[in-house]
Amino acid sequence: MIDLTAPDFIDNPYPALKLLREKGAPQWHEQTGTFLAAGFKDASQVLRNRDLGRIFEENAPSSEWETFNWLHSDSILDSEPPKHSRLRSLVMKAFNPKKIESLRPDVERITKELLDEAVKKHNETGQFDLIGDYAEPLPVKVIAFLLGFPVADEHLLRPWSQSIVKMYEVSPSDTDRDEAKLASIQFASYVHELMLERKKNPGTDLISELAQVEEEGEKLNAHELIATCVLLLNAGHEASVNGFGNGMVATLQDAEQLAILNADPFGLADTAVDEFLRFDAPLHLFERTATKDTDIGGVEILEGQKIAALLGSANRDERVFKDPDKLDLSRNPNPHIGFGAGIHFCIGAPLARLEMAISLPRLIERFGSLKLAETPVRRQSFVLRGYEQVLVTNRP
């Protein structure tokens, strides 16, 4: 069975995932204690089947884990109806396509500011880091702006988020677990203070809006508000950073696709963004637990058993995508499930698409043809797949 933590697998998981799909039905996987649904149809069904729920398993109830636990069990992502529907409808207002489109000028402004800095660094050193200087700060700044998170403290977001999401990997170490507990406490208490401050001095941001709802009492309590804000701040950047980084590296390693992108970056932006997410997914594995016995792809999943949808594998399924192992930036249609499916479908999909469809062509417009300056450094994780550092240059 696949070792999801093996460096070779993390380096390139796609051949092993193909073999898994060829087995035809979801397979039991001892290492994760779940069935793995690797094919497109089965993975989509896992996300849509209402006898499978996102049930958060609390870490050993103790005062140390308390905050980490409620940050999850009171969040949209880790709850099920009716609580899920109530929390989701409260934030959907801020994430409807019209509202997101109105952020376009701000995304353009932030993109320009970051590119000015990247150009300066490139002029001085001959290279810049596509992740640290561009792909990462962009969604962090946008989501911070949307929620009204203070600019001076934006640098806290990525480290807190990374400490928390390490717990989603296959076998977090003791250090990872300690860091996740600490980051949860610090992050939650920061957002709590912010909520109190916005109750006194409301602004036009989402935290102020939610603080108002919490004040009115019926629809949202304080833990749910904090958990929702922490989730949005984390989910609002984590996958976007890696989706952009994975897609750009794949393009920089493919001379033909790079030439096509360089020739028409604005015309290709929308299809390229979806292909980035399909070709090398930033999020690979999402678990569900059976709330009653159910069937996925002919395999019976008994009440209490777990099954995971493998999104990155589903998006390479040869039964759905022509030449699935080929990067094709003009692929259309592209019915990938990189943003999930069913009731937990990604709330931030329109925002992520807007950010990437602006930042990708603007990058090419500024730098012309980029290339890798050094071998990119991959993070040693499968569930959240991405690069640590990607140094690039436009010099010969």
User: Which residues in this chain contact ligand HEM in the complex, by CB under 6 A?
Assistant: 47, 54, 76-77, 88, 143, 231-232, 235-236, 239-240, 243, 277, 282-283, 286, 338-340, 344, 346-348, 351-352
Q: State yes or no: is 240 an active-site residue.
A: yes
Catalytic residue among 16, 94, 222, 346: 346
**What does 186-238 look like in DSSP terms, one character per residue?**
HHHHHHHHHHHHHHHS--SSHHHHHHHHHHH-SS--HHHHHHHHHHHHHHTTH
Return d(Cα 360, Cα 262) in angstroms, integer: 10
Instruction: State the Cα–Cα distance between residues 14 and 313, nearest whole angstrom.
Output: 7
d(CA 207, CA 236): 14
CA distance 302 to 308: 14
Q: How far is the CB of 64 from ligand HEM (least distance, A)?
A: 26
Minimum CB separation of residue 174 from ligand HEM in Å reads: 26
Closest to 346 in 3D by CA, of 87, 40, 95, 43: 95
Q: Based on CB atoms, which residue is closest to ligand HEM, 164 or 239?
A: 239
Nearer to ligand HEM, 84 or 166 (CB): 84
CA distance 23 to 38: 9
Tell me whether residue 355 is one of the annotated catalytic residues.
yes
Least separation in angstroms between residue 148's CB and ligand HEM is: 14
Q: Is 346 a catalytic residue?
A: yes
Instruction: Select 346 or 372, whichever has its Cβ closest to ligand HEM.
Output: 346
What is the separation of C-alpha 314 from the centre of its chain, rounded to a whole number of angstroms?
A: 16
Q: Which of 43, 180, 227, 235 is catalytic?
A: 235
Catalytic residue among 79, 184, 208, 240: 240
CA angle 30, 10, 29 (to 5 degrees): 10
- Give me the least distance between CB of 18 and ligand HEM, in Å please: 21
Task: Report the distance separating Cα 295 and Cα 348, nearest Å.
Answer: 30
Rounded distance between C-alpha atoms, residue 287 and residue 29, angstroms: 12
250 labelled catalytic: no
Query: Measured from the CB atom, is 83 or 199 closer to ligand HEM?
Result: 83
Catalytic option among 314, 355, 373, 381: 355
Shortest Å distance, C-beta 273 to ligand HEM = 8
Q: Least distance in Å: CB of 28 to ligand HEM?
A: 20
In the set 169, 224, 238, 287, the catalytic residue is: 238
* Euclidean distance between CA atoms 77 and 88, whole angstroms: 9
Q: Which of 284, 277, 322, 313 is nearest to 17 (CA)?
A: 313
Q: Is the Cβ of residue 127 or residue 214 nearer to ligand HEM in the bound state?
A: 214
Which residue of this chain has its Cβ atom nearest to ligand HEM in the complex?
A: 348
Torsion, Cα of 231, 278, 360, 134 (10° steps): 50
Question: Which lies closer to ligand HEM via its Cβ, residue 143 or residue 329?
Answer: 143
Helical residues (DSSP H) of 102-205, grouped into ranges: 104-125, 137-147, 157-165, 174-200
Contact 34, 287 (CB under 8 A): yes
The distance of closest approach from Cβ of residue 228 to ligand HEM in the complex, given in angstroms and rounded to an integer, is 8
Q: How far apart are CA 287 and CA 228, in angstroms?
A: 20
Q: Closer to ligand HEM by CB, 54 or 158: give it.
A: 54
- What are the catalytic residues? 235, 238, 240, 346, 355
